[in-house]
Structure 1
Amino acid sequence: MLYNTARAVLRFFFLIMGLKVEGFRNIPRSGAVIVAPNHLSYLDPLLVAVAIDRPIHFMAKAELFNNKILGKLLTKVYAFPVKRGNADRHAIRHALQLMEEGKVLGIFPEGTRKRPGRVEHTQAGAAMIALRSGAPILPVACIGSDRSFPCGWLWPLIIRIGEPISMLDYQGQKINSETMEKLSNEITDKINALLSK
């Protein structure tokens, strides 16, 4: 309930700011999917949630949940904590459960906010969860979110959604560091292609 209300308010606000959503038709209408955007700003999860009209369960750094009020709010909008720097088995299990339930998982594959420009490297988390679950990955480019307010009035504020990356090409392959690196590189390339359009 809170998620839908917050999304409606944010959608109105961001559209006034000039938000443009491109590639809306690429969003799978049902079934599990992993949304994988680049990460420039704290606004990115909000913008992506507005652009994609299915509830997104975002992985968020565990430190954000240390604040009781913020932690409760994040939980109510379906975010869940992940400990960075090592393999958080609890977070991975939760993510796989979401995929089994046919929900939408949000992961920023760079792992943290980065400066604008090309994505240089993505962590293996999104690739590993996709390979284990078979869920497609939806590459997303956030453009202009790194600027301070009022973003859309002065420069483009765009969420560009790419075609899903299917796991069919990876069926039968062992889930090891080599396969995860191959898929991570594909995610990187797809996001960069969206950024350069």
Structure 2
Amino acid sequence: MSFYKFARTIVGFYMKPVFRMNVIGKENIPQEGPIIVCSNHISNWDPLVVGITCPRNIYFMAKEELFKNKLLSTLLRKVHAFPIKRGMKDRTALRNALDILKEGNALGLFPEGTRSKTGEVGDGLAGAGFFALRSEAQVVPCAIVGPYKKGKKLKVVYGTPIEMDPLRERKASAKEVTDIIMQEIRLLKQKNS
């Protein structure tokens, strides 16, 4: 068993009963080929929740500061996280993400870029649209419907992949594609609140 699968099993064993997790729409996640899972962002727990509920091994960007500690850096890399410099164009991180998709893997993104203070789905940054347009990945919207409270039900809802070909063909802007992704996440959240 890989370290990733081991970590996912251990974290899932703890988190699923604590947050009474209900996962909906797992069948919407393509079994193979590159995918981008785009989720709303309401808590620091979100990457763990997407990681344990997505049936595929998923790679996440994480803020560079987390990699300064050697032990934490080693652990993060073993669970497929890689660093990104926030607030600036980080060409290395962008290349890493595109390579992950080119190899047919799953990339997890939180397009809002930061946690929502209100729990509402905010506007997304253009990065999600950039990766969707620059790759052949299918984009899977995901809504995490909280709250993260012991004993309360937490829903993780995966929607059907967003049709990207027409957007790629008409050379839509990265921001427009991100807006479409965020709207899909909003609709999933509304339907499951």
Contact 1:10 1:50 in 2 (8 A): yes
Quote the Cα distance in structure 2 between the aligned partners of 1:169 and 1:115: 34
- Secondary structure of the residue aligned to 1:129 is helix
Contact 1:62 1:82 in 2 (8 A): yes
Contact 1:118 1:195 in 2 (8 A): no
- Secondary structure of the residue aligned to 1:171 is helix
Q: TM-score, normalised by structure 2?
A: 0.93
Return 85-94 or 7-16, whichever deviates more.
Answer: 7-16
Quote the Cα distance in structure 2 between the aligned partners of 1:20 and 1:61: 28
Match in the other structure for 2:86 = 84
Contact 2:116 2:122 in 1 (8 A): no
Counterpart amino acid of residue 17 in structure 2: I
Match in the other structure for 2:177 = 183
- Secondary structure of the residue aligned to 2:140 is strand
Tell me whether 1:168 sits opposite 2:165 in the alignment. Answer: yes
Of 119, 136, 155, the residue aligned with 1:134 is: 136
Match in the other structure for 1:37 = 39
Quote the Cα distance in structure 2 between the aligned partners of 1:133 and 1:99: 7
Shift in Å at residue 10 of structure 1? 1.8
Quote the Cα distance in structure 2 between the aligned partners of 1:111 and 1:48: 16
Shift in Å at residue 117 of structure 1? 3.3
Aligned pairs for 1:20-59 within 5 A? 20-59=22-61
Contact 2:63 2:85 in 1 (8 A): yes
- Secondary structure of the residue aligned to 1:97 is helix
Quote the Cα distance in structure 1 between the aligned partners of 2:15 and 2:131: 31
Identity %: 42
**For 1:4-60, what per-residue CA distance to the aligned partner results, in whole angstroms no more than 9, with x for missing partners?**
001111222223221110111111100000011111111111111111111100011
Quote the Cα distance in structure 2 between the aligned partners of 1:15 and 1:114: 22
Match in the other structure for 2:14 = 13
Shift in Å at residue 169 of structure 1? 1.3
Q: 5+ unaligned residues in a row in structure 2: which ranges?
A: none
Shift in Å at residue 88 of structure 1? 1.0
Match in the other structure for 2:153 = 156
**CA RMSD of the aligned region, Å?**
1.4
